[in-house]
């Protein structure tokens, strides 16, 4: 991993600190991938996650993995942001388009990777531990559950159990069922996992006041 990786559960307060929106005299161009949510909508997702990036000051470029030529869009950005949604739908879309290989190669070459929730899970070695939280049926065309392999840790987002779809008992079941086979990191919604040249560490990621 060259990274850095900025893996979020929900709050994005850590993002501007670890990936400043302006570097030198240029705004950071961040490629926004919403594949984890595309199965829910007929049109590309342009909801709160994307709006937050704009508010932080990034130059946001929508990257549609279903469009021919998305590789050129991905090659032209400084960083990539992979949104939340269904982990298995996301991994299937990444694998189907070949974006999994392209993104991994670019991150190994130094491109920052930002992933939130599902986007954080797929950065790890395997997405199977998300099977109780998301729908494995959304990844029926996956031949296996390999993730991007950017880190050896599988993030378990929303681990404080504050979001209604992910109550504490579901988080506990996930940790109990998969903790003996995978290195799991329960990540609270006000935390982020940073992986860079200094190692791996959990930092505060409280959402800034609007």
Output the pLDDT for position 44.
46
Among residues 9, 83, 117, 205, the one annotated as catalytic is: 117
Output the pLDDT for position 210.
63
Output the pLDDT for position 36.
87
Tell me whether residue 108 is one of the annotated catalytic residues. no
- Token pair for 72: 């050129």
Cis peptide before 4 (omega within 30 of 0): yes
Output the pLDDT for position 41.
56
115 Cβ contact list (under 8 Å, min separation 6): 5, 6, 7, 8, 81, 82, 121, 122, 123
H or E stretch covering 91 = helix 87-97
CATH class of residue range 5-204 = alpha beta
Q: Give the Å distances, CA to CA, from 107 to 2, 55, 66, 80, 141.
A: 6, 25, 21, 9, 25
Length reported for the chain: 210
Tell me whether residue 205 is one of the annotated catalytic residues. no
Given a contact cutoff of 8 angstroms between Cβ atoms, the answer to whether 30 and 114 are in contact is yes
Domain range list for the chain:
5-204
Percent of the chain with pLDDT over 90: 85
- Token pair for 192: 């982020």
Helices and strands: H and E segment counts in the chain? 7, 11
180-184 long-range contacts, Cβ below 8 Å, gap at least 24?
Answer: 182/125, 182/126, 182/128, 182/129, 182/154, 183/152, 183/153, 183/154, 184/129, 184/153, 184/154, 184/156
pLDDT 10s digit of each residue in the chain, 210 long? 567 999 999 999 999 999 999 988 899 999 999 988 876 654 444 468 999 999 999 999 999 998 898 999 999 999 999 999 999 999 999 999 999 999 999 999 999 999 999 999 999 999 999 999 999 999 889 999 999 999 999 999 999 999 999 999 999 999 999 999 999 999 999 999 999 999 999 999 998 766
């Amino acid at each position: 991993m060259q990274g850095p990786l900025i893996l979020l559960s929900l709050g994005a307060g850590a993002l501007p600190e670890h990936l400043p929106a302006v570097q030198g005299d240029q705004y950071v161009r961040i490629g926004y991938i919403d594949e984890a949510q595309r199965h829910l909508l007929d049109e590309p997702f342009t909801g709160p996650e994307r709006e937050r990036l704009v508010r932080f000051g990034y130059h946001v470029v929508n990257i549609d993995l279903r469009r021919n030529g998305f590789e050129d869009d991905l090659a032209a950005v400084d960083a990539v942001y992979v949104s939340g949604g269904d982990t298995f739908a996301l991994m299937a879309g990444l694998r189907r388009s070949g974006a999994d290989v392209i993104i991994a190669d670019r991150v190994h070459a130094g491109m920052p990777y930002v992933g939130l929730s599902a986007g954080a899970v797929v950065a790890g070695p395997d997405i199977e531990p998300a099977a109780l939280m998301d729908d494995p049926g959304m990844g029926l065309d996956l031949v296996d559950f390999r993730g991007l392999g950017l880190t050896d840790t599988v993030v378990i987002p929303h681990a404080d159990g504050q979001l209604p779809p992910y109550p504490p008992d579901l988080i506990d079941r996930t940790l109990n069922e998969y903790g003996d086979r995978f290195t799991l990191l329960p990540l609270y919604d006000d935390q982020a996992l940073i992986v860079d040249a200094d190692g791996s560490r959990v930092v505060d990621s409280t959402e800034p006041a609007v």
